[in-house]
Amino acid sequence: MPTRIDVVADPVRDRCLLTTDHLSPRQLPGADGVVRVGLVAAGALLLAGDDVRIEIAVSGAVRLEIVETAGTVAYGMRGGTARWDIDIRLTDGASLQWYAEPFVVSADADVTRTTTARLATGCTAHLRESLVLGRHGETGGVLHTATRAWLGENLLLAEDLDLSPEFRTGWAVLGTNRCLDTVTTLGFRLPDDPQTLQLEGPGSIARRLVHEQHQSTLNRPASAS
Amino acid sequence: MGNVELVAMMLADGRLPTGGHTQSGGLEPAVRAGLGADGKQLADVASYARDRLRTTTRVEAAVAVVTRHLALSGTNVAPGDENVPQTTGRLDTQTPSSPSRADWFGPDLPSRGLWLEKRGFDNQYPRLEDHAARRGAGQGLGDVEAAWAARTPSHVVRGVSRRQGRLLLRLARRVWPDVTTYLPNDGEIARPVVLGVVGAVTGLSAEQVARTIAYDDAQTVISASLKLLPVDPADAATWLAGLHDDIEWLVKDVAPLTRVDDIPADGAPLIDVFAHNHAIERMRLFHA
């Protein structure tokens, strides 16, 4: 059973249906037109054999803000593996902001992490993914990521990263950096900046490759996207 | 039709006038960031080329292979009147067409053409999707380029490939005029798409197309190292020979692909970072 956040805009009160699994979503106070949901681990995460699936569906003129209280650590898995799959569906003008806390892949962990986003035309998403390979002083384990985003019928972004130790350390992927901090916007662009990648369609990627996560200059947006 | 082996050799030859000498495959900004610093660990050049073969070059080769397949299967691409090769010397005056991009952006957003114009990116020249739209082609080469674009998140990297594609196209329409059956006379089209079409009209196999892309990329990086670092040319050639297994792995991996959706999407974040550093660098030896 997936962890699920279902939000439907409503003129009286936006409806919000939350389903707990590996993670427990809790509604927080939010301004008009904004549904804020805190995402808290419901047990020890992330361990060998864990299959975490987070489904987010937002419909109508409402903005969902997901807040995490703590980062996630994928612990050593002794030959096992774990998955972390995020599925986002936005329809009818919905928007999503999710500034995720760091996702730390410890030594000997083996994690596949996918993000799939399907946005109807007119919807927007503002996502941060902060991947850290190894806790302080250790060489992180294996991480494979796959990102796919559609806007309407069009594929907006497809990116697979092989962040296993033997591939990531070269001059093409991460180099000696331990942290890959990424802010991705879908449905709208970030302002131009020499280091910001502008997608072919309306969307952007701002990325920082740093040794320590806190060195990243990708800060939380001050206000609405 | 001539010997296809010779066509493949021509395409892989750095002396072909398509501006290959202006490219370092991202090596120049990598060197600026410290690759081979102080003349040490020069063999990192070969590792860098190998990382590209596993990631971005694998995607490019797959795009070229699928382009070739779609052109040969010919279901949605057909010659159009506007494709009669121009004989006048100047092509730059060709006016960009502006089909509606409402499908992509939705009715509420400005057209991408407007976007890019305002942002000063590019789009001075017609794109493949415009060409496809004019012909009413559905699933066709425009879809391959869209798939490539979604897998190439950096506008700088896309711009480099499209400029290279334009140079190859302008040469190809003289040397192999049949390419105009599938492509406009001029335009900024992703280089692997142009190369895939050249492969289709000259009879190259999928393997030859993939091998051309892979070899060209590796050789671009390795030969640029001779200008950027104190590399012994014999060492450079040895590195290139040492990449043959990686090139053949790539060829076997992507040659069977026929569907746009099956094109791999391997990314390489540091290549993008370096490309963006290089784009604003004032003193540079190579365009990219």
Residue of A nearest to B57 (CA): A172
User: DSSP code of A138?
Assistant: S
Which stretches of chain B score pLDDT less than 50?
Answer: 75-123, 133-139
B37 lies within 8 A of chain A by CB:
no
Flag if B106 and A152 touch (Cβ within 8 Å): yes
Contacts of B115 in chain A (CB under 8 A): 202
Scan for tokens 């069977």, then name that residue. Answer: B256
Q: Is A193 part of the contact surface with chain B (CB cutoff 8 Å)?
A: no
Does a structural domain hold residue B285? no
The distance of B143 to chain A (nearest Cα, Å) reads 10
The reply to whether B139 falls in a domain is yes
Res B66: pLDDT: 97
DSSP A76: P
d(CA A47, CA A22): 11
At A210, list the tokens.
Answer: 């740093």
Q: What would the 3-class secondary structure string for chain B be?
A: CCCHHHHHHHHHCCCCCCCHHHCCCCHHHHHHCCCCHHHCCCCHHHHHHHHHHHCHHHHHHHHHHHHHHHHHHCCCCCCCHHHCCCCCCCCCCCCCCCCCCHHHHCCCCCCHHHHHHHHCCCCCCCCHHHHHHHHCCCCCHHHHHHHHHHCCCCHHHHHHHHHHHHHHHHHHHHHCHHHHHCCCCCCCCCHHHHHHHHHHHHCCCHHHHHHHHHHHHHHHHHHHHHHHCCCCHHHHHHHHHHCHHHHHHHHHHHCCCCCHHHCCCECCHHHHHHHHHHHCCCCCCCCC
Q: Which residues of B155-167 are buried (b: 16+ CB within 10 A; e: fewer)?
A: bbbbbbbbbbbbb
Residue A80 has pLDDT above 70, yes or no: yes
Q: Which of B49, B43, B55, B41 is nearest to B219 (CA)?
A: B49
* Chain B, window 126-155: residues with a beta carbon less than 8 angstroms from a chain A beta carbon: 146-147, 149-155
Residue A8 forms contact with B (CB below 8 Å): no
* pLDDT (tens digit per residue) in B45-86: 999 999 999 999 999 999 999 999 999 997 444 333 333 333
| Residue B213 in domain | yes
Number of domains in chain B: 1
CA angle B78, B84, B88 (to 5 degrees): 155
Contacts of B276 in chain A (CB under 8 A): 194-195, 197
pLDDT tens digits, A39-67:
999 999 999 999 999 999 999 999 999 99
Q: Residue A133: which of A115, A116, A114, A109 has the closest Cα?
A: A109
Question: What is the distance between the terminal CA atoms of chain B, rounded to a whole angstrom?
Answer: 34
Distance in Å, alpha carbon of B36 to nearest chain A alpha carbon: 11
Round to whole Å and give the CA distance between A187 and A103.
25
CB B160 within 8 A of CB B204: no
Q: What is the ipTM of this complex?
A: 0.95
What's the confidence (pLDDT) of residue B262? 97
Looking up tokens 């030896």 gives B285
Residue A148 dihedral angles phi and psi, to the nearest 5°? -135, 130
Distance CA(B140)–CA(B138), nearest Å, equals: 6
How far does A104 lie from chain B, in Å, by closest CA?
A: 18
Distance from C-alpha of B75 to C-alpha of A39, rounded to nearest angstrom: 49
The predicted structure's pLDDT at residue B130: 58
| Three-class DSSP category at A125 | strand
Q: Check if the beta carbon of residue B228 is closer than 8 Å to that of residue B29.
A: no
Both tokens of B236, joined, read 């450079």
Nearest CA-CA partner of A126 in A203, A216, A210 = A203
A157 touching B (Cβ < 8 Å) = yes
How far apart are alpha carbons B63 and B264 in whole angstroms?
9
Q: Please give the pLDDT value at position B127.
A: 63
What is residue B134's predicted lDDT score, i.e. its pLDDT? 47
Residue B257, domain member (yes or no): yes
Domains in chain A: boundaries: 43-215
